[in-house]
Amino acid sequence: MINSKQRAWLRAQANDMPCQFHIGKGELDSEIVTGLDEILTTHELLKINVLKTAADPIREIADKLAEAVDADIVQVIGRRIVLYRFSEKLAKKGRSLALPY
């Protein structure tokens, strides 16, 4: 669980990031969860764009995704979702994000 100071820092980091994942009208299936899991393992911070064709509310999609990949929701603004999950793989390589305390 991240605190408010860390959340603010992560929002600032994600501000200039391009969206790396797009979710459309299909349901959240295992392929989407697997793809998100792989990206979070190699990047830690992920910006997702939810297309207008998505049937569920954006906040509900964000909650489902965060729970499925065991990530923290950093921000939901408009049709964009930002997720964060600490990556052991990046920490071993010394490339993990250094969150403020």
3-state helix, strand, coil in the chain (%, to 5): 45, 20, 40
Domain boundary assignment for the chain: 4-88
Q: Is the pLDDT of residue 83 over 90?
A: yes
pTM of the full structure: 0.92
Residues 85-96, mean pLDDT to the nearest whole number: 90
C-alpha to C-alpha distance for 10 and 25, rounded to whole angstroms: 28
4-88 CATH: 3.30.110.60
What is the share, in percent, of the chain residues with pLDDT greater than 70?
100
Decide: helix, strand or coil at residue 73.
Answer: strand
C-alpha to C-alpha distance for 38 and 36, rounded to whole angstroms: 5
Q: Please name the residues in contact with 92: beta carbons below 8 A apart, sequence gap of 6 or more.
A: none
Are 31 and 39 in contact by the 8 Å Cβ rule? The answer is no
| pLDDT given at position 26 | 77
Tens digits of residue pLDDT in 5-53: 999 999 999 999 999 999 988 778 888 899 999 999 999 999 999 999 8
